Structure 1
C-alpha cells in the first residue's frame, strides 16, 4: 500500500472513493500505529506507523484501503498512572470515531493495561496482546439513498409527545411484528408498530442508547448484560446487536420509514462517561489513546478520576478535542442518520468546568451556535452525582429538561398524599417556578411519571417495595424512594376491587400527563399494563423482565392505547394545553389564562390553597384566541366523592364532559353553568365550554 501524509482535518477513517485517510487525536502519545486486520478480525495483517502529526492529530492516507477494512490502533507513550498517563501499546484500541464495529468484546485479563491480581494494582504493567478479543472498527461508505420522499417531520416543540422505548425490548414480544424483525431496528418501523404509534398519538420516539456499547464484565460473569446500553464505547457507530447485517444502513432505513410516517426519532446519548470505568477498568479506547485528555482526573492525584457519574469516571468536555469529538458525533447523527433530537444522559457533567456546573460551559456554548444542531430537539437530564449536580431549570433557553419535580409531585398526589394542591397546580401548568426565566416557555419542562429507570406505571400501583433480586445485587440497587402505592396488596392480585383501583390510578396519571402544560413523555408498555415484576432497575435484564410484555394489548381493562389516543387528541384540540406563554389570572378586560376554583366554583383565595389535607384541585384554562373553547379540569385524589359546581361564565351556555377516568364507557354529558355534579373518588374530569 502507498502511504502518504493525508490530512488531520477529519478525524476517524474517511474513505474518499480511492483510499482512506486515518486520523487520531492524542496529545501525549509518542507514536501511533494503525493495525489492519483480516475480514474476520482474527489476524493482524499489517502494522503501519502514522507518518504525520498536526496539532496533536496523528494521520496518514492509504490509497488501497476501502470500505469493509477492519482496523484498530496501538498508541505508544508513557505508562505513568500516577501522572495520569496509561499508554500501553500491547493493547489494541478502538478508534473513538469508528462508524461501525465488527465483533464483540470477549472478556479476558488481557484487556487491562495492568497485571490483574498484582499487589501494585494499576501501577503494574501488562504485556499481553488483547487484539483477538477486541471489537474492530470498520471503514465505511457513508452514502445512502434516502429517497425523494424522506422528509423530516419537524414537529413543533409544543406539539411534541415523546414515547421512550428500547430498540430490542419494544418489539421482542410483539406477535404482529415479523419474527425476523423482532428486537431490531427494522421492528421499530414495521407496519404494526407505526400503526400503534399513530393510535397513541405520539409524535417522537426516543430510543434508549444505540451507540456502540459493551457488556460489563461483572454482568457477563452473572450471565446478564448491559441491556439499557448506558455503557458506550463508540459514539459514532450504531449498536450492531439490533441489526441483522449492516447496522448503519439498517438504522437509517428505520429512520426513513418513521419519517415517512411523520414520526420523529430522538436518541438518548451518553457522553458523560465511557465503558472503561474507573482506574481499575479495562483499556479499550480513550484511556489508552490519551487518558489525561479524555477524562476528568483528580488534580491532587491524577491516578484517580473525578467521578460525577457514578460509573467510575467522567468525560472531560473542557478539553477542546474531546468537545470536538462530542460535537462531531452529534452532527454525524443529524447529518448522516437524520436524527431529530437528543436526550443527554447526566447532562450536568457535560457542562462542568473547574468550579462545577457552568451555564456558559464550552459544551453549552458550542451547542448554542452550531447551525446543524439549531434545528433539532435538545433535552437534558439536568443532574449528575457530583457536588452541585442537581440543575433542574438551569439550562439555557434552547434546551428542554426532564422535570423530576413533576414526577415526584404527581406520584405523591395520586398515591394519596394530601396538602399538595399548590405543588400540583404548578406542575400541571408548566412548572413556572422552575422554568419561567431567560425567555423559556412551558416546553422547557419534559413531564414524565415513568421512564426506563424505575417502576413501570403498572408496578407503580402494584408494589410498595422494589424487587430487584434478579439483578444479583441482593436488592441493594435501584431507588428506595418511589412514591408508589400497591393499593393494599404487594404484586399481582385477583381482587377485583384492587384491580379496578390500579387501573383507574394508571388512567389518572396518564390523563394528567397529557393534560399538563409542558412536553409529555410516555414509557413504552405503560399503555398495556407492562410489568417488570417490581424491578425498578432492569438495566441488566435482557429477558422477559426488561422486554415489553404485550399480553395486555387488546385486553379489556389493561389496554389503554385508545384511552391515550383520545387524550392526545384532546391535547391537540385545546391549544391552551400546548401553550407557549406563561399563564396569568384574571385580566382587566375579564379574560384570563387560568382560573383556580373551589368546589363551589369560586376563585380560590389563600386560605383555599392551605386547606388541610386538600386533595381536590379544579381550574379553567382560558382560550388562546377569541372563539375557542375553555377547558375545565378537575383532579380529585380524595378516596371519597366530592360534589362541585360547574363554573358560571356568561359566554358559555353549557359544559360538555370530555373525560371521566372513573367512567369506563366515557359517556357524553352536558352540564349547565352553576349546576352540581360529583367527582368520583380518585378521578380526573375534563369539560369544554360550549356557547
Structure 2
C-alpha cells in the first residue's frame, strides 16, 4: 500500500491522493494567486505524481473531474479546489461561503492550500505522561487564555500560550495530570452561523483531520511539539480531542472541500443513497470502510509520532465502531491495539452518538477509558435531593454496574466528571434550572433540555450574599464528591474557580466573553479549595485507581455498610475510607449539611 499525502525523497517530491471514482485528478501548485495544474496518474484507487526537487514549503491542493450526480454520491467538480485529506499544514483557516456548494463555481480563492511540510526528526516517544486516577483538565485552547492577563497579547488563544509560565503554574497548582485539548485541527463554521454573525468556537466541525488550525496553532507542528514538551517537563500529559465521526462538509447542501470531491464513499450512506446522520451534523464517516480507518489511524499516528501527544479522546466514539450498527469487536479497536505507536497511547471514548443503539457506555475495549455521564447525572441528582445514597456509592466506587468487576491488577475505566464543554458549567448547574441559549440564534431550542440543575434565589442572580454562599456550598460538595471518586476524574477549565456562561449550556458558537474563561473574576477561595482536593488525591493516587483493593464503606456508627444501608430511604450520610501505603484517607458525605469532609492519617512505621 503506497503512502498517501506528500513524500520527499531523493531528488523528488511525490504527491498521492485517494479518489477511486474520479476520471482525472490534478495536483495544483500555487505561487500567490497563480495556479499551475499537473495531471496525476492513476494507480488503482489512488492518484500519484512525482515532481523533481525538494518542494518543502510549496502550497498545493487538488482538483478532481468525473460524473456530477449527487443523488448517487458523485460530487466531482473540477471548479472546486480540494484540500489534501493528509495535509498537516494549511496556509489559512477555512471560511464558510455559499460558493463551496454551487456546482461550477471556482473556490481557489477561498479554500486553504496545503503546505508541503519540512522534514523534522520526530521527538522521542516516551510512555504517556498519564496516570489513571489522576485529573484530566479539559480546555478550549482559544477560550482558555484569550483573557489571561499574564499571557502576552500576541500569544493569547493559541497552543503556544499553554506553555506560558503562568498557565503552567495554574495547572500545577490544580495537580493536573493531563490536559485534554478540545479540537485543534482545521475546521469550518457551520453554514447557519455566518448569517447570525457567529462562528464555531469549539472546533467540532473538522475538514482536515491532520492539519492544525492556523488560528489556534499558527506555528504548526513545531508549536504543538514545543508546547507538549513544555507540559511534559512539568509532568503533565497532553490528550487531543479528535472528531472522527463526521466532517464539516455536512449534509447534501454542504460544501465541497475535501473528501466529498475526492472520495465521497468515505461517508456512510443508506441503501437509497441518502447520507446517514448518526452524528446530528449532516454526515457520518463510514468506519466500515478501510480507507476511513486508515485516515483516522494515520492522523493519530502523526500526532503521536510527530508531536509526542500522550493520547486521544474521541468525540461521538460509537461511530468508530459502526458498520452500520455498533460492534464492540469493530476492526478499528484491533488495528489500534496492533499498532506499535498507538497501542502505547491513552484512548478515551465519549461513548454515545445519536444513531440507533448509540449509547454504549461500558462497551469499549477493556484498556480504554470512557466518559461516564451517569456519574455526572447521579451526583447532580444526589445533591439536588432526588437520588439515593446507594446510587451515589456505586458511582463513587467506580460504577461497577456499568464497567463490571475489575480484572486483577486493572484500573477503573471510568472518567468521572461533573461538567464538560457541552452543557452547563459547574457554577451554572447551581444557578440555573433552565438553559439560556438565546445568544445562539436558535430561539433557545438548542442544547440539553434536562441538566439536573437547580438554583438558589433568582436564576443567575449575584447580589444576595446568602444565595451566593449556598451556591458555593453546593459547588464545594460536588467538587469534593468528584475528587473522592474511584477512577480518573475530569474538570473543565474554569470550573475550579466558578466559571459561568450565564446559563448558556451550548456555547459552541460563542467566541466572546460568554465562552472565554474569566481569569480576573475568578473565585480564589474556591480555587484554593480545589487545589487542596487535588493535593490530597495525588498523595493517595493509587487508592483511587481501583476500589476493591483500597476502599471500605462504613455507616456513621462505624459498622461496615451493606446494600440495604445504601438503599434505606432518607439516608443522607455516607462514610468510607481509602487505604494505601501512604496511610488512610477517610471521607464523609453529608447531604443535609451540604458537605464533603476528609481526614488523612499517615501510615505508621
**Is the 2:128–2:346 Cα contact (8 Å) retained in structure 1?**
no
**Within 2, Cα distance between the matches of 1:102 and 1:529?**
38
Displacement of 1:438 in angstroms is: 8.0
* Structure 1 position 612 matched with structure 2 position 594: no
Q: Aligned in 2, Cα 1:452/1:133: closer, same or farther, shift over 3 Å? A: same
Which position in structure 2 is the counterpart of 1:569? 535
- Which of 57, 81, 89 does residue 78 from structure 2 map onto? 89
**Is the 1:75–1:289 Cα contact (8 Å) retained in structure 2?**
yes
Which secondary structure state, in structure 2, belongs to the residue aligned with residue 237 of structure 1?
Answer: coil
**Within 2, Cα distance between the matches of 1:158 and 1:287?**
39
Residues 315-324 or 445-454, more deviating = 315-324
**Is the 1:211–1:232 Cα contact (8 Å) retained in structure 2?**
yes
Deviation readout 1:216-271 (Å, 9 max, x if unpaired): 2221221111100001011111111024x432222222112111222111100001
* Structure 1 position 428 matched with structure 2 position 385: no
**Within 1, Cα distance between the matches of 2:571 and 2:169?**
41
Which secondary structure state, in structure 2, belongs to the residue aligned with residue 132 of structure 1?
Answer: coil
Displacement of 1:86 in angstroms is: 1.7
The unaligned stretches of length 5 or more in structure 1 are 1-7, 115-125, 585-592, 639-680
* Structure 1 position 135 matched with structure 2 position 107: no
**Within 2, Cα distance between the matches of 1:156 and 1:72?**
38
Deviation readout 1:5-37 (Å, 9 max, x if unpaired): xxx621112233643110001221121111111
**Is the 2:584–2:600 Cα contact (8 Å) retained in structure 1?**
yes
**Within 2, Cα distance between the matches of 1:106 and 1:495?**
45
Displacement of 1:153 in angstroms is: 6.9
Residues 459-468 or 628-637, more deviating = 628-637
**Within 2, Cα distance between the matches of 1:141 and 1:520?**
38
Which secondary structure state, in structure 2, belongs to the residue aligned with residue 513 of structure 1?
Answer: helix
**Within 2, Cα distance between the matches of 1:487 and 1:601?**
34
**Within 1, Cα distance between the matches of 2:260 and 2:422?**
28
Displacement of 1:605 in angstroms is: 4.0
Which position in structure 1 is the counterpart of 2:556? 599
**Within 1, Cα distance between the matches of 2:131 and 2:402?**
18
Q: Aligned in 2, Cα 1:34/1:218: closer, same or farther, shift over 3 Å? A: same
**Is the 2:129–2:232 Cα contact (8 Å) retained in structure 1?**
no
Displacement of 1:572 in angstroms is: 2.3
- Which of 230, 237, 242 does residue 269 from structure 1 map onto? 242
Which secondary structure state, in structure 1, belongs to the residue aligned with residue 304 of structure 2?
Answer: helix
Which position in structure 1 is the counterpart of 2:596? 684
Q: Aligned in 2, Cα 1:526/1:153: closer, same or farther, shift over 3 Å? A: farther
* Structure 1 position 297 matched with structure 2 position 269: yes
TM-score between the two structures when normalised by the length of structure 1? 0.84
* Structure 1 position 498 matched with structure 2 position 467: yes
**Within 2, Cα distance between the matches of 1:426 and 1:521?**
18
Displacement of 1:608 in angstroms is: 2.4
Displacement of 1:151 in angstroms is: 7.9
**Is the 2:587–2:599 Cα contact (8 Å) retained in structure 1?**
yes
**Within 2, Cα distance between the matches of 1:19 and 1:443?**
50
**Is the 1:397–1:438 Cα contact (8 Å) retained in structure 2?**
no
**Is the 2:543–2:551 Cα contact (8 Å) retained in structure 1?**
no
Displacement of 1:67 in angstroms is: 1.6
**Within 2, Cα distance between the matches of 1:559 and 1:15?**
55
Which secondary structure state, in structure 2, belongs to the residue aligned with residue 396 of structure 1?
Answer: coil
Which position in structure 2 is the counterpart of 1:31? 24
Displacement of 1:501 in angstroms is: 1.3
**Within 2, Cα distance between the matches of 1:359 and 1:55?**
32
Displacement of 1:559 in angstroms is: 3.9
**Within 2, Cα distance between the matches of 1:568 and 1:438?**
25
Which secondary structure state, in structure 1, belongs to the residue aligned with residue 544 of structure 2?
Answer: coil
Q: Aligned in 2, Cα 1:497/1:97: closer, same or farther, shift over 3 Å? A: same
Which position in structure 1 is the counterpart of 2:588? 634
Which position in structure 2 is the counterpart of 1:342? 312
Which position in structure 1 is the counterpart of 2:190? 216
- Which of 312, 321, 330 does residue 282 from structure 2 map onto? 312
Displacement of 1:437 in angstroms is: 5.3
Displacement of 1:600 in angstroms is: 2.1
Which position in structure 2 is the counterpart of 1:43? 34
The unaligned stretches of length 5 or more in structure 2 are none
1:319-334 counterparts in 2 under 5 A? 319-334=289-304
Considering Cα pairs closer than 8 Å and 6+ residues apart, tell me whether 1 or 2 has the greater RCO: 2
**Is the 1:397–1:439 Cα contact (8 Å) retained in structure 2?**
no
**Within 1, Cα distance between the matches of 2:84 and 2:74?**
18
**Within 2, Cα distance between the matches of 1:266 and 1:525?**
18
Which secondary structure state, in structure 2, belongs to the residue aligned with residue 71 of structure 1?
Answer: strand
* Structure 1 position 172 matched with structure 2 position 146: yes
Which position in structure 1 is the counterpart of 2:506? 537
Which position in structure 2 is the counterpart of 1:384? 353
TM-score between the two structures when normalised by the length of structure 2? 0.95
Deviation readout 1:563-618 (Å, 9 max, x if unpaired): 222222211222453233x527xxxxxxxx54332222233345422322322222
1:139-288 counterparts in 2 under 5 A? 139-143=116-120, 152=126, 154-243=128-217, 245-288=218-261
1:8-23 counterparts in 2 under 5 A? 9-16=2-9, 18-23=11-16
**Within 2, Cα distance between the matches of 1:30 and 1:443?**
52
Deviation beyond 4 Å, 4+ runs, structure 1: 150-153
**Is the 2:137–2:493 Cα contact (8 Å) retained in structure 1?**
yes
1:424-503 counterparts in 2 under 5 A? 424-436=392-404, 439=407, 441-503=410-472
- Which of 468, 482, 496 does residue 513 from structure 1 map onto? 482
Q: CA RMSD in A?
A: 2.0
Q: Aligned in 2, Cα 1:78/1:65: closer, same or farther, shift over 3 Å? A: farther
**Within 2, Cα distance between the matches of 1:546 and 1:635?**
32
1:355-394 counterparts in 2 under 5 A? 356-394=325-363
Q: Aligned in 2, Cα 1:460/1:521: closer, same or farther, shift over 3 Å? A: same
**Is the 1:442–1:517 Cα contact (8 Å) retained in structure 2?**
no
Which secondary structure state, in structure 1, belongs to the residue aligned with residue 282 of structure 2?
Answer: coil
Which secondary structure state, in structure 2, belongs to the residue aligned with residue 484 of structure 1?
Answer: coil
* Structure 1 position 103 matched with structure 2 position 92: yes
Q: Aligned in 2, Cα 1:96/1:489: closer, same or farther, shift over 3 Å? A: same
**Within 2, Cα distance between the matches of 1:153 and 1:371?**
12
**Within 2, Cα distance between the matches of 1:50 and 1:559?**
63
Displacement of 1:65 in angstroms is: 5.3
Structure whose CA Rg is larger = 1
Residues 176-185 or 205-214, more deviating = 176-185
